[in-house]
Amino acid sequence: MPFYYMDYWYVIFVIPPMLLAIWASFNVNSTFKKYSKVTNRYGLTGAEAARKILDKNGLYNVRVERVAGNLTDHFDPKSNVIRLSESVHDSNSVAAVGVAAHEAGHAVQYAEDYTPMKIRGSLVGVANIGSSAGIYLAIFGIILTMPLLSYIGIGLFCAVVAFQLVTLPVEFNASSRALVALEQGYLSEEEMKGTRKVLRAAALTYVAALLSAIGNLLRLIMLVNGRNRD
C-alpha cells in the first residue's frame, strides 16, 4: 500500500477536526480570559457559586476544593468532590462562576442518575483502552497483514467515538443546569451574557473532540478496507 494512500485519508479525515480542536482550545482560553476580568455584582466566587448550587439541590456532602492548574476544573464522583482550578475557585468573575456552576451541574447529574452520565461512566474503561491502543492495533494489523487485529483495533476505537458522543449531552446539560441556576438571582442578565459565551466556547471543545474521534475512526476504516482490497 503506497504511503500517499495513508496520507490521503489523514488529510481528509484527521487534519480538519484537528485544526478545529486547536481553534476551539484557543477560543475557550481567550474567552475565559476575557470574561475573567468581568466581576459579578455580588462578588460571588466560583467556590461560593458551586456551594450554593450544591446546597440548593441538597448535596451537602459534596465538597468543593481548590486544585492547581488552569481550567482543570472537574467533578470527581468517586471522591464526591468538585475540584476548581486556582483561576476559578477564588475568582469572582462571571467566567469563574459559570465554570463552577457547570461542575456543580455535573454533581447534580450524578445525584439524579442522569442516564447519559451513567452511560459515559460505563464506557470510560474501554474508551481509555481504545484511545491508547485502538489506532496502533489497526495500523499493526495492516502492516502485518492481520485483518482480525485491525478489526479489533477499530472496534476498540469505536468505544472512543461512543464516549465522545455521549459526552455531548452530559456537557450540554450541565451547562444548561448551570445557566438556569445562575439566572435565579446570582447574576444579572448582562453578566449572564459573558457566562453563556464561556460555556458555549467550552462546549465547542467537546464537539471538536467528537469530530476528531470520528475522523480517526473513518481513516482507520478506509485504510483497512483499502488494504483488504489490495
Find, among 120, 211, 118, the residue nearest to 159 by Cα.
Answer: 120
Report yes or no: 112 and 131 within 8 Å, Cβ to Cβ. Answer: no
User: Residues 198, 48, 82, 73: what is their CA dihedral angle, to the nearest 10 degrees?
Assistant: 30
Q: At a CB cut-off of 8 Å and minimum separation 6, what does 76 contact?
A: 82, 83
The partner residues of 85 in beta bridges, in order of sequence, read 67
Catalytic residue (choose from 48, 65, 86, 103): 103
d(CA 4, CA 140): 18
d(CA 109, CA 119): 12
**Number of neighbouring beta carbons within 10 Å of residue 20:** 18
At 74 the three-state DSSP class reads: strand
What would you measure as the largest C-alpha separation in the chain, in angstroms? Answer: 67
Q: Can you read off the three cell numbers belonging to residue 91?
A: 475568582
d(CA 175, CA 5): 41
103 belongs to the catalytic site: yes
Q: Can you read off the three cell numbers belonging to residue 27?
A: 477560543
Catalytic sites, residue numbers: 103
